[in-house]
Structures are given as structure tokens and as C-alpha cells.
Amino acid sequence: MPHASSRQGEATVSRTDNARAAAEDSLEDYAFRYVPRTFRRWSAASVGATALGSIAFLADFSIGASIGIDHGTGNAVLGILFASVIIVAVGVPVAYYAARYSLDLDLIARGSGFGYYGSIITTVIFAGFTCIFFALEGAIMGQGLQVATGMPLWLGYLVSTVVVIPIVIYGMRALERLQFWTTPLWLALALLPLLWILILDPEAVRAFTSYTGNSDGAISFGAVVSSAAVCFALTPQLAEQIDYIRAMPPRTPSNARSWWTWFAVSGPGWVVFSGTKQVIGVFLAVYLLVEVDGAAGHRATEPVQQFVGMYQTLVPDWLAIVLALVLIVIAQVKINVTNAYSGSLAWSNVFTRAAKHYPGRTIFVLVNLVFAYGLMMLDVYTFISFVLSLYANVVMAWLVTIATDIAINKWVLRISPRFPEFRRGMLHDWNPVGLVSVGLASVLSLLAFAGLLGAAVQPFSVLIAIGVAFVATPVMAVATRGRYYLRRRSDGIDSPLFDSHGNPSGERLRCHVTGYMFERPDMLASAQRGPNGEVQYVSSLALTLDKSDRYVLPPEVTGPPRWAAARGRET
């Protein structure tokens, strides 16, 4: 028995040390954690401007060019507009919960239909997005390096991969500085030459508006939806915006106007900038094909060719190549530090909950980059339209489910708890509401995408994903009577969870496992009492890393919750 006791003591020390190490390592970025007030010291304008810096990606130009060449300007622009409206509708509730409650998308998903472990599925979907788009942006930079220096593509891909590592490792503060200082230069390089062409060459505008691409130019609903399907694959960019806006300051009467403005612009409003860039991508492809090089073919979808062609009409060829390379390098670094950062948060979140061990976020930065480099070498860029159209089906099933749970199940039906609970012990491990909705919507839309539901339905597969997710989410909530959302209604702490303005409380409590102070929303009462029988507190971080369940409060045996009782607090 002494040996067993010794081993138990060593295991306890190991778990405690692991929780402490995770707490220290995640202080810079709060991977898989609620972001406390002590970290959220930036103004709403500063956070919003930083978040907008991440939408400098050049894949927008490629996507716009690709669907423009396939379906013509009219169908492409309408498809971009259609996708943008849907993405804004999906983004508003999800981004609001992130900014209001300081949570990333995984934490929101846990209490919005998926459960503590169920949200791992959604996080893997998002992690895949960061890899795919890192690969697309890295491929664009590799193309730029090849045009400018003759560097082999494999080496250009490698350079574009490793260049972001030093910045990403340092987390949110380093990203804030990078985005702030590079955004003005990016805007100047991208927009000023374009404005110059629009003013001096009205014929280019006429060519753009009349361009039919590989179609007959007629506007059709199928072509519009097919164009939109590619754009829908960009929707997970919302999760990357959330990784910034979760650091928004508490909303108070004194900063409400600024808070709402920057939330709207940098949260759901990111798609306005993205859609504009896609339309510009159509214009640049048409300009390249009609005004510069009619034999450009597929190369017209490459941003490096688009911008070199645009610059060549204004400056000498050598300077055009230099300017295009500078623009591409800046854009690639700006977005891929975000892709690598958000991807590392996602992978570390998944691994930590599954393995109950936190090896550090740096490892997952490297994992994400290795996956992305592999996709570059597989030439994922060449199949951009197909890959994004396929991925869009799963993406929309996932995000529409979360948005519907928030907008309908929480606010209209009031079945889902109003506050997006994320703490282990408060939630059931799995919630069929989100899992069934995502699974059903994904399977049906992918079957349609593959043509197994008929050729007439195939172009509308992404609409099936959206429609099924929107309907199935409230239907499942009603069918299950909301019983799988909360394992407990009380976290065992007497002090309020919210302050007088409805913001998560800034009260600090000591975690008896790690010894660190955490803010009230991150804490629960521990099942393990103190030496004198007093209540002790445990952080959600310590619970995430604990394999024994010794600190988890027992479930409340109260029967299926009534809908009104499951509302949560009005905030």
C-alpha cells in the first residue's frame, strides 16, 4: 500500500505540474481558455483593426477569378453577393457571443449544441480550414518568388511556411503589432494602382461587365449558387476573426458605440471586405485576359500574374515584379501568421481534451505547418475550386448549426441555455442536437455534391447543407427537450457570473489545483473540499487536464430540464 500511495501522490503532482505549465504557457494567447479581463487591455478599435489585418489574404482574388472565368462576371458577382449575405447572417450571432463572452469558437460550440467532447469534431473542421488556406496562401507566395527570383516552387513553399514561425510563437501581442504596421502598406499597394486603372481605362470596366467566361454569359440560379459554393468555403475565416475579437474589452455605456462599431466591422463585417476582394479578383482576371495577355489561361487566377499584369501597365517591368512580390509577401505573412496561430490553438485544444495533457502550443504550430506544406506539395492550388466547393458543404453544416442554436434555440425557443457554457462538469460530454444536425447536413450535401441525388440537385449541394442544418438544429433541440445541454445548472459558486453591465465578472478566485488566480467565469466549485470542509475552487483549465474526475461535481439529478429552466441568465 505505501507504494500505491506513493504512485498516487506522484500522479497528482504530475497532473498539477501539467496544469501549471499549461496555465503559464497559455497566458499569451489563452488557447482553449476563456480570455480574462486582465488580458483584454486593448481598446475596441485596437482589437478591431488587428482583426481586420488578417483579411489581407490573396485567396479572395483567386476565388473571384476562378468563378469569374467559369461562370462569367454576372453570375460570379451575384454568387459573391449571395454568399456574403448568408455568411453575415451566420456570423452575427456567433461573433457576438465571442466578443461579448470572450470565447473562441470551440468554447462557444460546446454549449451551443455539441457538448464538451462533441465540439472536438467542429474544431477539427476548423483546423483543416487553417491548413487548406495556409497552403493556398503559401502557394501564392511560392509562385511570386518563382516569378521574381526563379526560385523552385518547392523551395518557395518552404520559405513561405517557415517565415511565419517566429511571429506566431509569440501569440496575440506579436500579431497585433504585425497587423497594425503592415495594413496601410498592403492597402496602398493593392488599391492605388487599381483605382488608377479604373480612372484611366474605362474600356477595362466595360470588358469586365460584359465578360462571359466559359459560359454563355446568361444569368442562371445554378451558376450563381455554384459560384457562391466556392465562396462559402471562406466562412471559417469567421473563426479566425473570433480569435481576435474575443479579446474585445467589456462593453459598458461609455464604450458602447465604439464596441458595436468595431464588432460589426471586424466580426461579421469581414465578409464585406472579402467579397469586395473577390469582385476585384474577377476584374483583375478579365483585365489580364483582355488587356494584357489573352493567352494567360488558368494563370489569370494567380494573384502574382494579376498584380504583375496590372503594375506593368503603370511602371517598368522590373518594378512591376518587385511591387507585386512585396504585396504578395506582406499579404501572405499577414494571413498565414493568423492561419498558423488559429490552427495551433485548434489542434492544441483538440489534443489537450482528448489526451488530458498539454505539450505546449509551439508543437502544434509546427504540426499545422507540416500539414500545410504537404498540401502545397500536393498542388492543392490547382484544384482550388473543387477543393473549396467540396469543403464548403461541411463548413456550412457546422457553422449554420452553431449560429442556429444561438439565434433560434437560445433566443427564440429558449431551450438552449442563454450563456454558452464551456466548463467541464457543467456540460454533458456529447449533445445530439449539434452532432445530428452537422452529420445529417454534411452527409446529404456531400451525396448531392457527388451527384448521387441526381444531376439536377448537384449544383445546390451547399444549399442542402445550409437548409438541413437550419431545420435540424431546432428540431433536435425540441425532440431532446434540451436535456443534453447542461449536466448541472449550478457551478457551486455563490458570487454572480456577470457584472451589472452583463459582462462576465472580473472577480478572481484561486484554483486549489494550480495555485493560480483565475477569473470567475473560468471557475467552478471543486468536488474536493478543503482541510476544514470549506469550499475550494477549481479552474476549467485544471479540469481539462485532470484524468481522475476527482474535482468534478456530481450531476444534478433533477430529471429532464423544463425549457424555461434551461434559459440561463439574460445577458
Grid cell of 333 as nine digits: 505573412
C-alpha distances (whole Å) from 338 to each of 96, 237, 342 are 20, 10, 6
Nearest alpha carbon to residue 381 among 557, 146, 555:
146
C-alpha Rg value of the chain to the nearest Å: 25
Residue 341 to residue 335: CA distance in whole angstroms: 10
Q: Which residues of 289-306 are buried (b: 16+ CB within 10 A; e: fewer)?
A: bbbbeeebeebbbbbbbb
Contact between 54 and 335 (Cβ < 8 Å): yes
Q: How many CB atoms lie within 10 A of CB 386?
A: 12
Listed as ranges, residues in the chain with pLDDT below 70 are: 1-29, 31-32, 54, 167-181, 557-571
* Confidence at residue 320, expressed as pLDDT on a 0 to 100 scale: 87
SS3 at position 261: helix
Residue 106 to residue 123: CA distance in whole angstroms: 6
Phi, psi torsion values for 538, nearest 5 degrees: -135, 140
Reading phi first (left if > 0) and then psi (alpha if -120 to 50, else beta), residue 492 is in left
* Confidence at residue 561, expressed as pLDDT on a 0 to 100 scale: 42
SS3 at position 448: helix
Q: Taking the model in full, what pTM does it have?
A: 0.86
* Confidence at residue 184, expressed as pLDDT on a 0 to 100 scale: 79
Residue 549 to residue 14: CA distance in whole angstroms: 15
Question: What is the average pLDDT score of the chain?
Answer: 84
* Confidence at residue 7, expressed as pLDDT on a 0 to 100 scale: 41
Residue 189 to residue 144: CA distance in whole angstroms: 15
C-alpha distances (whole Å) from 182 to each of 13, 62, 269 are 45, 22, 20
DSSP label at residue 524: E
Residue 570 to residue 494: CA distance in whole angstroms: 18
Residue 486 to residue 555: CA distance in whole angstroms: 9
DSSP-derived pairing of the beta strands 523-525 and 537-539: antiparallel
Q: Which residues of 78-102 are buried (b: 16+ CB within 10 A; e: fewer)?
A: bbbbbbbebbbebbbbbbbbbbbbb
Residue 266 to residue 283: CA distance in whole angstroms: 25
Name the CATH superfamily housing domain 31-480: Hydantoin permease (1.10.4160.10)
Contact between 400 and 470 (Cβ < 8 Å): yes
Residue 90 to residue 557: CA distance in whole angstroms: 35
* Confidence at residue 23, expressed as pLDDT on a 0 to 100 scale: 52
SS3 at position 486: strand
Residue 84 to residue 90: CA distance in whole angstroms: 10
- Write the DSSP assignment of 103-150 as a string of letters: --HHHHHIIIII-TTTHHHHHHHHHHHHHHHHHHHHHHHHHHHHHHH-
Torsion angle (degrees, nearest 10) of CA 348, 15, 246, 484 = 90
Residue 17 to residue 379: CA distance in whole angstroms: 43
For 429-461, the three-class secondary structure string (H helix, E strand, C coil) is CCCHHHHHHHHHHHHHHHHHHCCCCCCCCHHHH
Q: Taking the domains of the chain in order of start, what are their residue ranges?
A: 2-16+490-555, 31-480
C-alpha distances (whole Å) from 568 to each of 60, 251, 421, 483, 521 are 40, 20, 9, 14, 14
Show Cβ contacts of residue 10 under 8 Å, excluding neighbours closer than 6 positions. Answer: none
* Confidence at residue 565, expressed as pLDDT on a 0 to 100 scale: 37
Nearest alpha carbon to residue 244 among 169, 321, 175, 141:
175
What is the dihedral sign for C-alpha 152, 154, 156, 158?
A: negative
Residue 93 to residue 107: CA distance in whole angstroms: 14
Contacts of 252-257 with CB under 8 Å at 24 or more apart are 252/501, 252/503, 253/501, 255/43, 255/44
Show Cβ contacts of residue 305 under 8 Å, excluding neighbours closer than 6 positions. Answer: 147, 288, 296, 299
Amino acid at 116: Y
